[in-house]
Structures are given as structure tokens and as C-alpha cells.
Amino acid sequence: MPERIVIQPVTRIEGHAKISIYLDDDGAVSSAQFHVTEFRGFEKLCEGRPFHEMPGLMSRVCGICPVSHILASSKACDNLLGVEVPRTAVQQRRMVNLAQLVQSHALSFFHLSAPDLLLGMDAPPEKRNVFGLVERDAEFARRGIRLRQFGQRIIELVGGKRIHPSWGAPGGVLRAIGEAERDEIRGWIPEALESAEIAIGRLKGVLDSMAIEIEHLGNFPTLFLGLVSPEGGLEYYDGVIRIVDGEGNAVAEGLDPQRYLTYLGEASEEWSFMKFPYYKPLGYPGGKYRVGPLARMNVARFAGTPRADREMHEFKQRSQGAVCESFHYHLARLIEILHAIERIEEITQDPDLLGSNIRARAGQNRNEGIGCSEAPRGTLFHHYQVDDNGLVRSANLLIATSQNNLAMNLAVEQAARYFVSGRSLQEGMLNRVEAAIRCFDPCLSCSTHALGQMPLVVELRDAGGALLDRARRG
Amino acid sequence: MSVKTLEIDGKMVTGMAGETIFSVAWEHGIHIPRLCHIGGISDVGACRLCMVEVEGQRKLQAACLTQIEEGMVVRTDTPRLKAHRKLIVELLMAERNHICAVCVANGACELQELARSMGIDHVRLRYRFPVFPVDTSNERFGMDHNRCVLCTRCVRVCDEVEGAHTWDVFGRGAGSRIISDLGEPWGASESCTGCGKCVQVCPTGALFDKGKTVAEMRKDRGFLKYIVTAREKKQWIG
Ligand code: SF4
Ligand code: SF4
Ligand code: FES
């Protein structure tokens, strides 16, 4: 009888997510699953509500990336009004979206991943956290914290609040900003650029020693999907969808996000609450794709800002085709931080940022609205159907983390096959399985393992279900 | 008209015969909490937040309905009253779906402000989570029954000031609901003049301007005093 190892994060919300590793009769890993057992049902909560509330309501989906949901939601609502959003509002939205990217990526890298990467996967768990990092290199850790603050500060200055700003609205944004805000943002730029480049240098410096992890933590070909500008550069707010395969060949170009249902499907599995999106023309599960930083590096041909272009060019040399190693999500994230800071600087130079025309007004002109933007973790879609009185009939959210679901499952399985062996559990081995997940920075657990370590309960059971070994951390 | 002298919270105050404890207290800077009362329209004593202790009377009295009397001794802020008021606010919150974080009135709501001023950071009662509709059939306004506290300010201002009497109360107890005309959707009401007075006097996010997003709804009640003064004194001053 096959055995099953369960790795269950014990989070503040019980039953969040867990990893099951199935052993065959010889004790070797036969397969693994990454389950999401939590169901929040946000779509259900929206039903019957006036669509104008959606940006504010949707910002509550997530405490880490509320801005992404505000944006996708506002864009879906712009669509329901059928208006063109004034340039000032667009520039504000773009800037806040990039700031969100910086703060979220900085959290992922400096707080959650850097301890593993820079202190080593086999470092003792009590040291392998952000405090251990501070001990080892206080200046570097401080830069990470400041980089995150930079992002949060922009959200606060423009959005009026750091965590759940009620700022985005159908047709635009709620408040204009002035010179004082803009100048404060500008003041942060030189330090932020420097910190991003230092972090990139540090990560590149340790990659050679991580060859085994790079090889075995989610290294396989899949499709990659993301928004690009009409010219094919990095794009986070608007644009068209581009899909490339593992060789880097374009599978689809210039897809309209409004028509996502024609090319993206969602499968369900009874063992997980999270859906399994796939690229329809290749079927399920053959049409598995990845989104997020790595995908964006693969689908965009260039960054469009000088410093990020240099790094992106070098990044693309890491592979003949697309970069398929999920481990490189980390480096991709840092390059995106650099790019976002450069873009934010550009936006602060646009006089239109300070305009007072911030909202297009109109009644409801459509019954269906779709909004799409790039969230830190990948492409995000909000899709609303509303009745003639503007009440939401149904809402569908296609979130980044679920689009990476198939790839995350594969990555866990690959890591388990390589690193898990025998009938007892070792810290280093569980770390690597967890690190496979962390490459994707899935949003469901980030708020609960802020010390850089997922709290885990690991159980090893024999064929009869009796407990053989149990490990607990966090 | 005769002048009456009484004591409120240890302070000697005077008022005209016929005035309520509530208005005399407010004139003297003693702000008794309220929800259903709003100056300019009649009082009904629906919310019971303004309850006060009157010496010599066993029962608590609604300050907005009780007229002052010579020699009265009134207390407005005893521990017992505070506990009652706190419970009333919690009951109101639990009775419908009050989730301030995602409400149009967030930051400018009288119920929320009452809760804040009483230090209510959570509700001790279990929310009932009733299923109530939102009526957005009117072209300019919306009615969200999930946020209604049944204070009937809308009913009274519409009847007494606008003269349309579009609104009324339907049903009983916790299942009561504000209806337009005989239960038609607001947009189909033949009596509604579209003046929006009800929206402005509504203390919560129940009546709102259509198109407002979370925390964007702000109310302007200045018109009430202006109209009432104009009507009663023939003085058109803002
Ligand atoms: S009506 Fe007032 S108390 Fe109720 S949810 Fe809205 S803001 Fe909160
Ligand atoms: S709709 Fe507003 S004004 Fe009317 S009863 Fe309800 S809470 Fe009071
Ligand atoms: S204000 Fe007196 S009962 Fe409501």
C-alpha cells in the first residue's frame, strides 16, 4: 500500500494549504499535490451589490496586493461605464500598480526568500529568517525593508492609506495629488535604484552555488502568459496578452484580454478549492502555463527602461529558449523591482500626473465588464456581469496564484522526487519542497509566514495509517 | 410661553415649556446620542439611543419625546445608560449587514460614529446576516436595506417636508422594511419627486447617491434647517 506524507502549514486560518507527498510501496515518491483547502467565496459576496462598490470590496480580497484587485476591478468598472479614463488617473493607477509590485516583491525577496538564498537552505531554521539576515548583514536587510517602505509610501501618498486604500473608482481615481507628494516620491528614487541593483548583484553571486535547486525546484517547460505593450515590452497596466512556449516561441500574440474566456479554461479537481486554469487550444492539463515575474521576463522582448533592459538581456541568456527554471522567479522579481522604480521615476516627470481631471463620469452603459492588469504574482482578470440597475449578477476572478496552480503542483512533485527519500523527515528536505512553492510566492500563505518560514506539520504514515514520524516547525 | 428650570447632569438649565429634554440638553452643550431624531422633522422615538434617567421615574425616558418640567432632575450619561446604548448599537449592527470597510458611507455614517464614540470595536452578538435586496432602480439614488436601521427619518422627511410620502414601513419586527409606494421598486414609484431629501437625512449608507464607491458617500443636511426656517419664519437664510 502506498504511503502519504502530509505537509500542512498551520496558519492562523486553519486548513489554508497543505502538501501531500505519496510514497509507493518501495518508499519512493510517486506523486505530490499542493492543496488549497480554504475557500473564501469572494465572488459570492459580490452578488447583488452595486458595481460601483467593487473596487473597494475587491481590495479586501488580499492584504498583500489590494491595489492589484482595486485596479483590475476599476478597469472592469470603466468597461461597464464605457468611458475613457483621464490620463491623470491612468498615470496614478500605473504608478500605484508599480509601487505595489515593488513592495510585494521586496517582501517576497528580502523577508521570505533571501534567508534561504543568502544564508543557505541548510542553515538552522531559527536563523533562517529575516532576523538571521539582519544579524548577518544589517545594511542589506535594511535596504530591503526600505525598498518595501518605498512602495508602501507611494501607495499611501497617492492612495491615502497604506493597506486598503479606497482610491480607485469606476472611471478613474478619487483624489488628485500635488507637487509635495510627487517630490517626496522622487526623493526616494536614487536609493531605491541602488538597493535594487545591489540585491540583483547579491542574488546573481549565489546562483552558482544553487545549481541543484535551480535544476530540481520546478524546472520544466510550460507555456508562459502575460501582458505586453503593443511593441512587445514589459507592461503591467494595459496591453495585450502574449503567450510563449518553453522554447520561447510565440504561441499567441496580441490576444485581447477582454476575450480571455475564448482562450483560457478553468478545470476543477475535487482535492483543491483552487481552480486549474489552462490554455484552451492545448487542452487540460497540456495547456498549463505560468504567470508572474518569470513569465513576464519570457513573454516580453524588452523592458523599455535602460537599467532593467541590461539585466533582462542578461537574464534571457540563461537559456536558449524561455527561462524554464522556476527558481529564476527570484531573479525575475528583482529585475522587475528595478524596472518598476525606473518607470515610477518616468511617471513623476509627466506633468499630467498632477492634473485635476481624475474621473470620467457616466452612467452604466454595458452589462458586462472585464478588467485585466499585471499583479505582482501574475496576470489578474476581473469579470463582472451586472443587471440593468447596476447590481452584480456574477463575478469571476482569475487570480495569478491559481493560474500557477498546475505548475506549482508539478514543482512540488519534482522537488519531492529529488529531495525526499526514506521514511523519516529531515529539515533540509522539507525546506526544499517548501522552497519550490515559494518560487511562485503564492499569495495564500505569504501573510502568515512573515518570518520567512512556513509553519509546517509534517506527518509520515505507514500503509495502515499509523504515524511513523512527525515534524513540526513554526 | 413659560420658562422652565431643570437640572441635567448636575447643571441647572432653562428651556421653554413644550421643549424636549433632548433639545434643551443640546442647547446647553450636553450632547445626548441619537439616531432617529433629526432637527426639523417630527420625533418618533424609534431608536431609543437618547434614553435618559429622570429622578422619581422608574422607567427610562426617551429624551427626544419627553417634554421638560419644572424641577426635573435628569441624568444622561450614567453607566447604566452607557451600557444600554452600547447594546442598542450592537443590536443594530448585528440585525443587518453592517460591514463598514466596504460600505459607501464608511467614514461619514452616524451609526459607525456612534459605535466609534462608544468604543465598540467588535460586536458581542452574533450577526444575523439576513438576505436583503439593494434597490437601484431609481435613476439617481440607491436603497440598500442591508444598512438600514429603520430610523424612519426618510419616511418623515419625505412626508413632512417634501410632502410626497413615498416611503413607509412594511412588515414587523426585524423583518420590517422601508418600502416605496406600495412596495414597487423605487424607480417605478409615481409619488417620488426625485428630490433626494431622504438620501441626505439617512444616517447610514442605506440611502445613497448611485455611482458612489466605497467610502465616497457624504451627506449634506444643511437644506433641512434652511427649508424649515423658510417655511416657519418666512426667512430665507442659509
Ligand atoms: S451603514 Fe454605517 S454602520 Fe452600517 S456598514 Fe455602513 S458605515 Fe458601517
Ligand atoms: S433608509 Fe436610512 S433614513 Fe430610512 S429608515 Fe433606513 S436608515 Fe433610516
Ligand atoms: S433619538 Fe430619541 S428615540 Fe431615537
Q: What ligand is nearest to the CA atom of residue B146? A: 1
| pLDDT for res A40 | 58
Residue B167 vs residues A11, B36, B177: alpha-carbon distances, Å: 49, 15, 10
Confidence (pLDDT) at A20: 73
CA distance B110 to B116: 10
Tens of pLDDT along chain A (474 residues) come to: 456 666 554 332 233 556 777 777 777 777 777 766 445 567 888 999 999 999 998 887 766 678 999 999 999 999 999 999 999 999 999 999 999 999 999 988 998 888 888 888 877 777 777 788 888 899 999 999 999 999 999 999 998 877 667 789 999 999 999 999 999 999 999 999 999 999 999 999 999 999 999 999 999 999 999 999 999 999 999 999 999 999 999 999 999 999 999 999 988 887 776 778 999 999 998 999 999 999 999 999 999 999 999 999 999 999 989 999 999 999 999 999 999 999 999 999 999 999 999 999 999 999 999 999 999 999 999 999 999 999 999 999 888 888 888 898 899 889 888 887 766 667 777 778 778 888 888 765 333 333 344 555 555 555 555 566 665 554
Say what the pLDDT of residue A135 is. Answer: 87
Looking at CA atoms only, how far is residue A387 from chain B in angstroms?
Answer: 10
Determine which helix (DSSP H) or strand (DSSP E) holds A331, and give its type and residue range. helix A329-348
Spatial neighbors of A298 by CB under 8 A, at least 6 apart, are A224, A226, A244, A248, A322, A323
Whether B210 and A57 lie within 8 Å, measured CB to CB:
no
Question: For residue A36, what pLDDT is reported?
Answer: 60
Q: What is the pLDDT of residue A11?
A: 30
Q: Is the Cβ–Cβ distance between B64 and B76 less than 8 Å?
A: no
Cell of residue A118, nine digits = 543568502
pLDDT at A444: 54
Task: Mark out the alpha helices in B54-180 (DSSP H runs).
Answer: 79-95, 110-117, 153-156
Predicted local distance difference test score (pLDDT) of residue A360: 96
Short-list A243, A472, A267, CA closest to A379: A243
Q: Give the pLDDT score at A81.
A: 97
A56 touches chain B (CB under 8 A): yes
| Cα–chain center distance at B5 | 28
Q: Which domains does chain B have, with CATH numbers?
A: 3-77 (3.10.20.740), 83-233 (3.30.70.20)
Measured between CB atoms, which of A56, A57, A390 is closest to B136? A390
All residues of chain A having their beta carbon less than 8 Å from the beta carbon of residue B133 are 48
Cite the residue boundaries of each domain of chain A with CATH code 1.10.645.10.
83-218+327-355
A83-218+327-355 belongs to which CATH class? Answer: mainly alpha
| Cα B180–Cα B186–Cα B192 angle in degrees, nearest 5 | 70
What is the pLDDT tens value at each position of chain B, 238 positions in all?
A: 699 999 999 999 999 999 999 999 999 999 999 999 999 999 999 999 999 999 999 999 999 999 999 999 999 999 999 999 999 999 999 999 999 999 999 999 999 999 999 999 999 999 999 999 999 999 999 999 999 999 999 999 999 999 999 999 999 988 899 999 999 999 999 999 999 999 999 999 999 999 999 999 999 998 999 998 999 899 988 6
This complex has an ipTM of 0.88
Predicted model pTM: 0.89
**CB-based contact (8 Å) between A391 and chain B?**
yes
The alpha carbon of residue A390 is apart from the nearest alpha carbon of chain B, in Å, by: 7
- Region at A189 (left for phi over 0; alpha for psi -120 to 50; beta for the rest): alpha
Check if the beta carbon of residue B50 is closer than 8 Å to that of residue B170. no
Distance from A40 to chain B by nearest Cα, in Å? 16
User: Across the interface, do B136 and A174 touch by the CB < 8 Å criterion?
Assistant: no
CA of B110 to the centre of ligand 3 (A): 13
Kind and range of the H or E element at A254? Answer: strand A250-255
How many Å is the maximal CA-CA distance in chain B? 53
Atom of ligand 1 nearest to the CA of B105: 7
Question: Which pLDDT score, from 0 to 100, does residue A134 have?
Answer: 86
Phi-psi category of A148—alpha, beta or left, where left has phi over 0 and alpha has psi -120 to 50?
alpha
Which positions ≥6 away from A431 have C-beta within 8 Å? A116, A121, A122
> Dihedral through CA A198, CA A201, CA A202, CA A204, nearest 10?
160
Task: Label residue B163 exposed, middle or buried (CB < 10 Å: 0-12, 13-18, 19+).
Answer: exposed
Q: A360 and chain B: CB distance < 8 Å anywhere?
A: no
Please indicate whether residue B38, judged by its CB atom, sits closer than 6 Å to ligand 3. Answer: no
Question: A414-429 as b/e, with b when 16 or more CB fall inside 10 Å?
Answer: bbbbbbbeeeebebeb
- Are A166 and B142 an interchain contact pair (Cβ–Cβ within 8 Å)? no
Q: Which residues line ligand 1 (CB under 6 A)?
A: B 98-100, 103, 105-106, 109, 111-112, 147, 204-205
Nearest CA of chain A to the CA of B14: how many Å?
46
Do the chains contact at A166 and B136, CB–CB below 8 Å? Answer: no
Is residue A175 within 8 A of residue A157, CB to CB? The reply is no
Rounded-to-integer distance, Cα B215 and Cα A159, Å:
13
Rounded to a whole number of angstroms, the distance from the CA of A227 to the nearest CA of chain B is: 28
Considering only CB atoms, A391 lies closest to which of B136, B211, B213, namely B136
Beta bridge partners of B4: B15
Instruction: List residues bridging with A21 in a β-sheet.
Output: A5, A32
| Chain B residues with CB within 8 Å of chain A CB | 101-102, 104, 106, 133-137, 142, 144, 187, 210-216
Average pLDDT over chain B, rounded to an integer: 96
8-state DSSP, A84:
P
pLDDT digits (tens, 9 = 90+) for B138-178: 999 999 999 999 999 999 999 999 999 999 999 998 889 99
Q: Which atom of ligand 2 is nearest to the CA of B201?
A: 3
Q: Do B137 and A55 touch (CB under 8 A)?
A: no
Burial class from Cβ neighbours inside 10 Å (0-12, 13-18, 19+) for residue A111 reads buried
Cross-chain Cβ contact B214/A391 below 8 Å: no
Q: Which ligand is nearest to the CA of B176?
A: 2
In angstroms and rounded to an integer, the radius of gyration of the C-alpha atoms of chain B is: 19
A174 touches chain B (CB under 8 A): yes
CB-closest option in B102, B136, B142 to A56: B102
User: Residue written as cell 459580490?
Assistant: A46
| A89 at interface of B, judged by CB pairs closer than 8 A | no
Cβ contacts of residue A187 below 8 Å, gap of 6+? none
Comparing CB atoms, the residue among A53, A389, A390 nearest residue B104 is A53
By CB atoms closer than 10 A (0-12, 13-18, 19+), residue A268 is exposed
- Atom number of ligand 2 nearest to Cα B167: 4
Using a 6 Å CB cutoff, which residues line ligand 2?
B 148-154, 178, 202-204, 206-207
- Contact across the interface for B216 and A174, Cβ inside 8 Å: yes
State the number of CA atoms in the 13 A half-sphere of A250 facing the CB.
Answer: 10
Q: What is the CA radius of gyration of chain A?
A: 22
- CB of B49 closer than 6 angstroms to any ligand 3 atom: yes
Q: How many CB atoms lie within 10 A of CB A282?
A: 15
For residue A1, with 0-12 CB atoms within 10 Å meaning exposed, 13-18 middle and 19 or more buried, which class applies? Answer: exposed
CA–CA separation, A453 vs A466, rounded Å?
28
User: How many C-beta neighbours within 10 Å does residue A226 have?
Assistant: 28
Chain B residue with the nearest C-alpha to that of A171 = B211
SS3 content of chain B, % helix, strand, coil (to 5): 30, 15, 55
